[in-house]
């Protein structure tokens, strides 16, 4: 069953003051380069550096009292991990995060600094789910599959509702895509409020499970994604999220890692915003004419800014 705008608005009302009502900022440089009127929803400025705090709070806040006492666990490549850790500490709920050994040390360290236990597993996706299941069995904690949890769509949908408040006369929204929870929630809110607004999803070429699924109209899997966009590496969409994608999303496109990195550098140079490659794929699609929207008002969602300083310095040094 599809999540409704009313459910999204209820989740939004429950969000704590720590969750930032992030700005929608116009980019004159990107507008000039593309011929579109380009605005950016700056979730890279969100607490913990990504949009994930919205769903993390919604999930944890809605646990039962007994579940909150015993704790909760998820698997994450980084941004959901830090958000879950932060909100667990805020709510006084013990949290554990299953992360592959290849996860960025920067994101592992930040997860632990926010108060979660980082549980490392082997570098393949099945190990993530096996480890998560084991934690649930052995410790009695609530193991959450974020690809199939309705509160993920509800929490992330708050971004779509905010965009429609901040830029109600827009023509299109461009959203980075991993498992589909973000775009599923955003598209639900946007399309319910104004069905004429086009919702476009963007994935990296090396992690295109939702793109393939959208094109074939059935769930496809990319077992081991390979991309610099480490926040967009879900090997398949969730059943729940894919249902929302097929109901509300108009188009899916792909960008290369090189285009994502160039967008990171372009954003630094023209807007002074730090955005990770996965958060910059929407801007990459615009700058490279992959989503030609000349003359249209567009909001590109900058979904996160968690990039290692050394990695960012390397990109800028290669400019």
The pLDDT of residue 148: 92
Q: In degrees rounded to 5, what are phi and psi of residue 100? A: -65, 150
CA trace torsion 237, 239, 243, 244 (10° rounding): -60
The Cα–Cα gap between 99 and 23 comes to 31
In angstroms, rounded to a whole number, what is the distance separating the alpha carbons of residues 302 and 319? 21
CATH of the domain at 59: 3.40.50.1100
Helices (H), 221-272: 239-248, 257-271
Same domain assignment for residues 81 and 119 = yes
Q: Domain check: are 96 and 227 in the same one?
A: no
Same domain, 137 and 206: no
The residue out of 101, 128, 143 marking a domain boundary is 143
The per-residue pLDDT for 319 is 56
Question: Based on the structure, what is the number of domains in the chain?
Answer: 2
Out of 126, 143, 160, a domain closes at: 143
Say whether both 137 and 229 belong to one domain.
Answer: no
Of 91, 118, 143, which closes a domain? 143
Is the same domain home to 185 and 304?
A: yes
Residues 134 and 162 in one domain: no
Strands, E assignment, the chain: 24-26, 37-42, 72-75, 95-100, 117-121, 142-143, 172-176, 198-204, 251-255, 297-302
Same domain, 43 and 189: yes
Do residues 107 and 28 both lie within one domain? Answer: no
Q: Per DSSP, what are the bridge partners of residue 252?
A: 201
What's residue 218's pLDDT?
A: 97
pLDDT attached to residue 77: 73
Give the model's pLDDT for residue 105. 83
Examine the domain organization and report whether 124 and 157 are in the same domain: no
| pLDDT digit string (tens) for the chain, length 319 residues | 899 999 999 999 999 999 999 999 999 999 999 999 999 999 999 999 999 999 999 999 999 999 999 999 999 877 999 999 999 999 999 999 999 898 878 778 889 999 999 999 998 878 988 999 999 999 999 999 999 999 999 999 999 999 999 998 999 999 999 999 999 999 999 999 999 999 999 999 999 999 999 999 999 999 888 999 989 989 999 999 999 999 999 999 999 999 999 999 999 999 999 999 999 999 999 999 999 999 999 999 999 999 988 899 999 987 5
Confidence (pLDDT) at 318: 72
Q: Which domain holds residue 99?
A: 53-143
Give the model's pLDDT for residue 308: 86
Q: Is there a single domain that holds both residue 211 and residue 91?
A: no
Structure tokens at 296: 């249209």
């Amino acid at each position: 069953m599809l999540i409704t705008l009313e459910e999204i608005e209820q989740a939004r009302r429950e969000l704590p003051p720590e969750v930032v009502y992030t700005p929608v900022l116009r980019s004159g440089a990107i507008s000039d380069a593309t011929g579109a009127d380009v605005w950016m929803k700056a979730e890279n400025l969100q607490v913990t550096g990504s949009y994930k705090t919205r769903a993390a709070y919604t999930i944890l806040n809605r646990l039962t009292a007994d579940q909150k006492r015993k704790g909760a666990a998820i698997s994450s490549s980084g941004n959901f991990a830090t958000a879950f850790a932060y909100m667990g500490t805020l709510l006084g709920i013990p949290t554990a995060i299953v992360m592959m050994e290849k996860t960025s040390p920067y994101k592992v360290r930040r997860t632990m600094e926010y108060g979660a236990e980082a549980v490392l597993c082997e570098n393949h996706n099945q190990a993530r789910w096996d480890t998560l299941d084991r934690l649930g069995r052995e410790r009695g904690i609530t193991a959450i599959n974020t690809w199939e949890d309705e509160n993920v769509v509800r929490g992330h949908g708050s971004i779509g509702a905010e965009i429609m408040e901040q830029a109600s006369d827009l023509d299109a929204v461009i959203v980075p895509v991993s498992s589909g929870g973000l775009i599923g929630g955003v598209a639900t809110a946007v399309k319910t409020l104004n069905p004429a607004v086009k919702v476009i999803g963007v994935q990296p070429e090396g992690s295109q499970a939702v793109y393939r699924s959208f094109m074939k109209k059935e769930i496809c899997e990319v077992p081991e994604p390979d991309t610099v966009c480490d926040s967009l590496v879900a090997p398949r969409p969730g059943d729940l999220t894919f249902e929302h994608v097929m109901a509300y999303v108009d188009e899916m496109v792909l960008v290369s890692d090189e285009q994502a990195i160039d967008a990171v550098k372009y954003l630094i140079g023209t807007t002074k915003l730090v955005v990770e490659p996965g958060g910059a794929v929407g801007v990459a699609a615009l700058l490279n004419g992959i989503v030609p929207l000349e003359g249209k008002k567009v909001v590109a969602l900058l979904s996160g800014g968690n990039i290692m300083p050394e990695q960012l310095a390397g990109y800028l040094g290669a400019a």
